[in-house]
Homo-oligomer: A and B are copies of this chain.
Amino acid sequence: MAKANIDKETIINKAVELVNRVGMDQITLKMLAENLGIKSPSLYNHIEGIDDLKKQLMIYGWKQAEQRITQAVIGVSGYDAIRAMCYAFYDYVMENPGVFHVMLWYNKFQSEEMEKATSQLLTIIFKLTNSLDIPDDYCFHLIRTFRGFLEGYFLLVNNGSFGHPLPIFESFEISIDVLIAGIQSLEPEWNKIDSMKTTKGEPQ
């Protein structure tokens, strides 16, 4: 019974490799164990089960995405930084389709660590948005706009849901153009409305 000397990290790394190759729904603990040269129950010495594995993959993915984005926005400011953030996220997802698929369900496994990984990312995005001349409340709204667009777009690409032959990255670029142009065009209005903050009605 030669010890394989496997630890949590080895397991996660192998799972990342597999999940990006065949997708999460094809993965079983048996298959994962076989790829590591052990039997499936032995995995329980390192992880708590398949739900825990998914949780670990999510945390791993959001941490990596956060790192990539952080690197990408160094030395860039304003709308260019927003664009750089989007492109860095795009690149990460295209390289890690399987991991991204798991990341999308992060609500399902709320935890301390997960909270930490995603809130760091949100903090960065808030800083980027806030460096533009936009009232705080609108920054929070816009973060939702971007989260929605980015995660949705990646999901559709990932699923092969775009049938039209137009290049996928071109549509992505144009979408970002539209979002940025939209913010630039509405920003003066938001600043006008924000100065009389007690208004209850909707803008426009």
Contact = CB atoms under 8 A, between A and B. Distances in A.
Interface of A: 104-108, 137-138, 140-142, 144-145, 147-156, 159-166, 168, 170-171, 173-175, 177-186, 201-204
Contact of A152 (B147, B171, B204): B147
21 contacts: A106-B159, A137-B166, A144-B162, A144-B166, A144-B171, A144-B175, A145-B174, A145-B178, A147-B153, A148-B155, A149-B152, A151-B152, A151-B156, A155-B155, A174-B203, A177-B204, A178-B179, A178-B183, A181-B181, A182-B183, A185-B185
Contacts of A141: 166, 170-171, 174-175
A108 B26 CA distance: 12
Given A145-B175, A181-B182, A140 B156 contact: no
Nearest to A144: B171
A201 B165 contact: yes
B174 A178 contact: no
Nearest to A174: B141
Given A140-B166, A179-B179, 10 more contacts: A144-B153, A144-B175, A145-B149, A145-B153, A148-B152, A148-B155, A152-B152, A152-B153, A162-B204, A166-B204
